[in-house]
Amino acid sequence: MRLNAPKKIVFIISLILAVLGLLGEVGILAIATGATAFWLALAGFALLALGTLIKGM
C-alpha cells in the first residue's frame, strides 16, 4: 500500500476539526461538548487518514 501526503487544505481542515473536538472535550468550547466533541475529533482523524490513502486528495 502506497501512502501519499495529503493536500494542504485537507490537512488544515482535519487539524481544525481535531482542535475543535479537543477544545470541546476540555470544556473551553461550549458548542462542542461530550459526544459531539468526540465525533469532531474522529472526523478530523478520518479525513486525515483518507487524505493519505487517496491519491490527489
Q: What is the mean pLDDT of each run of 10 residues along the chain (57 residues)?
A: 92 95 85 84 95 89
Look up the pTM and report it: 0.84
- Look at residue 51 in the predicted model and tell me its pLDDT: 95
User: What's the rounded Cα separation, in Å, for the pair 23 and 7?
Assistant: 24
| Contacts (Cβ under 8 Å, ≥6 apart) of 13 | 44, 47
Task: State CA 2 to chain mean position distance.
Answer: 21
